[in-house]
Amino acid sequence: MSERLELALRAKELDAADELAPLRERFVLDDVVYLDGNSLGALPAHVPDRMADVVRRQWGELRIRSWEESGWWTAPERIGDRIAPLVGAAPGQIMVGDSTSVNVFKALVAAVRMADAGRDELLVDATTFPTDGYIAESAARMTGRTLRPVTPAELPAALGDRTAAVLLNHVDYRSGRLHDLPGLTAAIHASGALAVWDLCHSAGALPVGLDEHGVDLAVGCTYKYLNGGPGSPAYLYVRRELQDRFDSPLPGWTSHAEPFAMSPSYAPAPGAVRGRVGTPDILSMLALEAALEVWDGVGVDAVRAKSLALTDFFLECVAAYTEAGRAECVTPAPHAERGSQIALRCPDAGEVMKRLIERGVVGDFRHPDVLRFGFTPLYVGFADTERAARILGELLTG
């Protein structure tokens, strides 16, 4: 039996045994192999009808009454509680709204404000997504702190009594490397600083354990593995023990203790609500709420197990189908260091990705030479994985 046939048969067997395989029917998909859910998740099939009701009835008929009768006003906290179990948080600690960038700003400045006065240094992941770095630099200037970029590997040695707060990415967006959230959080706390984590590339793909590991603040987007739709609102996690001290740099009327009193002086609401700013973006927020229903009955541990199986199988298929030395995997092999994506480096990666998309395999390209393939276990199967690797091998050896 040829290796190609053997891998194709094994993919079929793995799909037949996959307990998550029926979830694929919950999404709008075609015959394209979609491996870009780490940038934009697929559309859950029931969302369009749900949004038609939001637009036609809640907005069109009830209009202003929907703030109360349709639950619009409480949506940021309600949807936050829906996200909470996916990141290992108890209810009452997550507020949904604004963009990831805005929430990074709120979290960082609030963390610095909670730190001891003598701590004048803000550490940021040197390999971070660019916006996080931009926001960290601005937050440092605004709070009179010095910004110090360090890699996660360098972080333990860089921590000290000058450290106020640290901003880290749980999963590196380029390489897919999973960083040690429990260990690094413990090291940050041992130095007396606060830990702020960006969960954009981990929430919905693997266990996070915010409460278990004592994370102070966390942010994340909802349009990747959570499938909330393009530009869907992000979220902000504030550990319960810190909520009374959380001093937002963007105090808005909806986070006021009495928002409709229209007081000229600000008094923050109790709990995670003080992370709110302005009027919630209801249409995208309710699309997210509907999208999160695909998680009903789904455990994050099962998702993680399938994610690792998919990425292992993809690497095996790539090795079988691709000429040695043509592509280099930059995603760590150990499961403890791997997110839910595989990043391959090759000299002509941009052109290769264009040709992959033409052949029905959608991933993405990161400058200068990285092919990224995101594996969303809710709708990606093993046959998809084998097909993607086979077509990639044909392109790289053709």
Contact residues for 373 (Cβ-Cβ < 8 A; gap 6+):
35, 314, 341, 342, 343, 344, 363, 388
Dist. CA 55–CA 41, nearest whole Å: 22
- The single residue of 27, 223, 235, 313 carrying the catalytic annotation is 223
132, 198, 216, 384: which is the annotated catalytic residue? 198
Q: What Å distances lie between residue 238 and 89, 108, 115, 271, CA to CA? A: 10, 11, 15, 8
Catalytic residue among 27, 129, 314, 321: 129
**Is position 129 annotated as part of the catalytic site?**
yes
Would you call the peptide bond into 368 cis, given omega within 30 degrees of 0 as the criterion? Answer: yes
Does residue 372 have an active-site annotation? Answer: yes
Burial class, 230, CB count within 10 angstroms (exposed 0-12 / middle 13-18 / buried 19+): exposed
Task: Select which of 276, 338, 372, 387 is catalytic.
Answer: 372
Q: Is 198 among the catalytic positions?
A: yes
Q: Active site residue: 224, 276, 306, 390, which one? A: 224
Which two structure tokens, joined as six digits, stand for 303? 């998702």
**Beta strand 235-238 pairing with 94-96:** antiparallel
Instruction: Show the 3-state SS of the chain.
Output: CCHHHHHHHHHHHHHHHCCCHHHHHHECCCCCEECECCCCCCCECCHHHHHHHHHHHHHHHHHHHHHHHCCCCCHHHHHHHHHHHHCCCCCCCEEECCCHHHHHHHHHHHHHHHCCCCCCEEEEECCCCHHHHHHHHHHHHHHCCEEEEECCCCHHHHCCCCEEEEEEECECCCCCEECCHHHHHHHHHHCCCEEEEECCCCCCCCCCCCCCCCCCEEEECCCCCCCCCCCCCCEEEECHHHHHHCCCCCCCHHHECCHHHCCCCCCECCHHHHHCCCCCCHHHHHHHHHHHHHHCCCCHHHHHHHHHHHHHHHHHHHHHHCCCCCCEECCCCCHHHECCEEEEECCCHHHHHHHHHHCCEECEEECCCEEEEECCCCCCCHHHHHHHHHHHHHHHHC
Residues known to be catalytic: 129, 198, 223-224, 372
